[in-house]
Every structure is written in C-alpha cells, then in structure tokens.
Chain A
Amino acid sequence: MCMGGNDSAGAMRDQQQRQQNVLNAGQGQLDTIFGPKGGTIGTNLVDPTAGFSATQQYYNSLGAGVKGDDAKKLLDQGLLFGGSQQTAGFGQDFYNKRQQDYINYANPQLTQQFQQTNKNLDYSLTNAGLTNSQASNAGKSSLQTALAQQQQGVANQGLGQAQALQQQVGQEKNTLTNQLIASGNIGSGSTNALQAASQFGAPSPFAPVGNFFNTWTSLYGANQMANSYAQLNNPAMNPYLNNRVPSNSGALGNVASYR
C-alpha cells in the first residue's frame, strides 16, 4: 500500500508555484525595465546553494530591501537578489529625444545647405538682372517651399527612427519574455534585459544627410533653361523670330535652324 503520493504531488505543486513566481517576477522586472516610467529592480540573483546571512541586506525582484526570514523565503523560491539597480525606462520622452537627436543632427546641415542655395539663387537672379522681379518671387517661393519640405523630411526621418526604436525596444522585451518562459531563469533574464536597455540608450551612427537641395537645384536649373528656351521662342523677346517663315518653304524655318 503506497502512502507517499501526497509528498510527490506536494513537491510538484511547490515546484510549479516556484516556476509561476519566477515567471511573474521576471515579467514584473521586464515591465519595469522596458516600461514608460522605469523603476528599481533586483540584480545579482543569489545562488540558493551559496552562503546565506540572515543579517545581510538583500533585495526582491523589484529592488525592495529584505532581510532575515523574508529573505530566506525568497532565497528558497530563487527570487533573492544581492543588489538593486534603478532603471530609467523607455517612456515617450525617450523616443521623442531620439527624434530630436536626429533633428539636431540633420537640421543644421539643412540650414547650411539652404543658405548656400539661397545665395546661389540671389547671385543668379542678380546676374540676370531679375532682383525684385516676378521671376525672383517665383524662385524664392520655390526655394522656401523646398526648404519646408526638407524640414518635414528631417522631422519624418526623426519620427521614423523614433518609431523604429520603439519597435526594437518592444521586440527586445518580447524576446526576453520568451527567453524567460523557456528558461525560467529570472537572473539571466534581468541581466540580458539590462544589457539590452543600455544598448538602446547608446548613440547609434547616423547616415550622412546628403544634399537636401540637389533636387531643387536640378529642377530650378532645368526650369531656367526651359525659360531661356521659351524666351528664344517668344517673339517679343527674340526679334529674329519675326523673319520666321514656314519650314516647308525651303528658307530659314524656325529658331532651331539658327542654332
């Protein structure tokens, strides 16, 4: 007759409860590390087989100090930590800062390129004797619009990087949660989470911004060429067009024939 069934079932129940506590505590740590407000978490998981001192200051998974019997209970559950660490979390301000960091990086370059392009436009208009003309207005309006569009592009690029970072952080938390579930090891989970969190805080290299006004300059230049061509075809601007005869007459046909 077997009367040991209660013992093994009780042991299994205890083990299951320990696993559940570890998972819940690990999830709490990950929520703290990757949450919007941050907080304190326990670090350096204490090995249950290592020496335990009832008078020593220990910490629970969320960084609260414990001693004595409370610490011993946590040790038995594999949830006792030797240290604690404050984490800043990943709030909206963190992602906004990433966006602003890119803007701070790209916007001065944009401004510098704009000033140079604006000067070139001024020189071009002055050389053509078109200062304060309708052509000047059109050119400057076009440049102002191009500037606004490039500024939007910079802001959008910053937003995209901030959102990509937000997705990376979320994905990293997801990966660490899966690792926690698979391993049931809160110690390695919190260590990996802190490492991942610190990597997100480090600056990452930005790609060069390139020439913001390259497209505008090309379009404006092409437009100027087109205008010149149009002026050649304008009878008011080109007296030679008055001698124009039908091209099928055999004489000088059109302006193309003069060039």
Chain B
Amino acid sequence: MLAGLGLSLVGTGLGVAAAQQDKNAMNSAVQQSLNEQAGYTKKANSAVQGNINQQTGDTARKQIATGAAQQSDLYKSLQSSKLQNQSSVAGMDPVTQARTEAFVDQQNRAGSQLAGYGNYATQSGLSNLEGNEQLGIIGTNAKNALDILPYQIQAAGHTGDKLAFAGTGLSTLGSLAGLFGVLNKLKAPGNTPAVNPNANAPQPNVGMIPMDSGYGVPGDPGFGTVPSYLKNFSSQMGGNPFLF
C-alpha cells in the first residue's frame, strides 16, 4: 500500500515536471522566435541605414560633382573631337575667337553642373529601389519565420509528453498497487473480523433497540447499555420506552 502511494507520488511529480518542461519549451520557442525577429530587424535596419547613407547631403554633393565632372569631360571630348575639327568656324579674329571660346566654356560648366543634378536623382532613386528590394526580402523572411511560431509553440507544448506519459503510468500503477495492498491486507488471517455463528439466527426484538444487550457493536464501550436519552424519555412516558 505504501509502495502504491509512493508510485502515485512519483507519477504526480513526473506530471508536474512534464508540465514545467512544456512551459520551458514554449518559453524557449517564443524567445527563439523573438531572437530571430531581432536578427531580421537588425538586417532591415542595416539596409535602411545603408540607404540613408546614400541620401545625405554630402553624398548628394559628391554625386552631383561626379556627374558634373563626367559631363564636363564629355563636352570637352565632344568639342575637341575629329568631327569638331571639321566643324570649327574659320575666319574669326582672335579676340572674337577667344570671347566665343570663353562663352562656350562658361556654358559647358553651367551645363555640366546641371547634368550633375540628374546623376544625383538617378543614383538616389536607384538606392531607394535597392533598399526596397532588400527590405522586401528581409521582411518576407521575417514573416515566414514568424508564421511558424504557432506550430513551434504547439510542438513545444508536447515536449513533456513522454515524461507526462511515464508519470501517468506510474500514478496508475501506484493506484493499482495501493488497491492491491488494501485487498491483501483484508485477506490476511489476523486481520479478518471474527464471524458470529449466531449472526443469521433469529434475534428477539429485531428492529427494536435491544434493552438486554444494549446498542452498538460488541466491543464498543457502551455496548449493552441503554442510552441516557432513552432512559429519560422512558421515564417521561411512564417507564415504557416502547410507547413512542
């Protein structure tokens, strides 16, 4: 019987341990998911930061300057090309020629500077597109990772299943053992109550309180005595306790 009780206790303990294991596993799954999401957030921030770095005023000025320099080189290349030599205007006096060239140079500088703004706009737009693409990929990966969290929690909720199963088994075994112990105790010779051979014999005053043998069961302290309340009541009723 004690062994059964012990097994039941161990089984219950295993059940509690299994529940704790489930809880820990579920917490771990959630924490793992949070860590994973934090990693994606870090990647996304890095992508955004990279794009922001491409959009600063300093970067814009560099891109404008680069575009302007490239376009200025192109103007010069175009105006000093072989075809240009074929298309020079002959017959100008040196002063007019110099004045014309200065004017053209000024126009080249202004034009190339304006062209540089186009380079900035293009590079800025491309940087935005690149940033959006990176965020799209990162966001999709993050969403996909988050989508499986319910399944992971569900799986974590069954982590202690084996332990719980063992606990339930032990508890059942303990109950059975306890029951077996009780039955064995009852069957043991020393523990069997004495059988009254006259138990089935007709008894006088059956159904009435036996005045001669008292009340209760044999062995009780008051066995064979008349309860005081009956005695008092009997005296009140004229000494006959059977009149009520």
Is A141 in contact with chain B by the CB < 8 A criterion?
yes
Do the beta carbons of A107 and B74 come within 8 Å of each other?
no
Please choose the segment from B91-99, B192-200, B221-229 that sits at the chain A interface, where 4 or more of its residues have CB less than 8 A away: B91-99
**Chain A residues in 8 Å Cβ range of B122:** 163, 166-167
Do the beta carbons of A9 and B83 come within 8 Å of each other?
no
Known: A1-B164, A8-B155. A136 touches B91 (CB 8 A): yes
**A44–B118 CA distance with the chains assembled, in angstroms:** 39
Which positions 133-161 of chain A face chain B at CB distance < 8 Å?
Answer: 136-138, 140-141, 143-145, 147-149, 151-152, 154-156, 158-160
Contact bitstring B180-209, A, C-beta under 8 A = 1, else 0: 000000000000000000000000000000
Q: Count contacts between A and B, CB distance < 8 Å.
A: 157
**A183–B194 CA distance with the chains assembled, in angstroms:** 86
**Chain B residues in 8 Å Cβ range of A177:** 133, 136-137
**A133–B206 CA distance with the chains assembled, in angstroms:** 162
Chain A nearest CB: distance from B209 CB in Å?
57
Contact bitstring B67-91, A, C-beta under 8 A = 1, else 0: 0000100110011010110111111
**Chain A residues in 8 Å Cβ range of B104:** 144-145, 148
**A170–B83 CA distance with the chains assembled, in angstroms:** 34
**A115–B85 CA distance with the chains assembled, in angstroms:** 11
Contact bitstring B141-176, A, C-beta under 8 A = 1, else 0: 100110110011011111101101100000000000
**Chain A residues in 8 Å Cβ range of B126:** 166-167, 170
Is B216 in contact with chain A by the CB < 8 A criterion?
no
Chain A nearest CB: distance from B101 CB in Å?
8
Is A27 in contact with chain B by the CB < 8 A criterion?
yes
Residue with the greatest number of chain B CB neighbours at <10 A, chosen from A10, A24, A145: A145
Residue with the greatest number of chain B CB neighbours at <10 A, chosen from A1, A103, A138, A140: A140
Chain A nearest CB: distance from B117 CB in Å?
11
Is A238 in contact with chain B by the CB < 8 A criterion?
no
**Chain A residues in 8 Å Cβ range of B3:** none
Do the beta carbons of A151 and B75 come within 8 Å of each other?
yes
Do the beta carbons of A144 and B100 come within 8 Å of each other?
yes
**A136–B137 CA distance with the chains assembled, in angstroms:** 66
Known: A163-B122, A167-B122. A115 touches B87 (CB 8 A): yes
> Nearest B residue to A155 by beta-carbon distance?
B74
Top 4 A-B residue pairs of the complex, sorted by shortest distance between their CB atoms = A9-B155, A5-B155, A148-B104, A5-B158
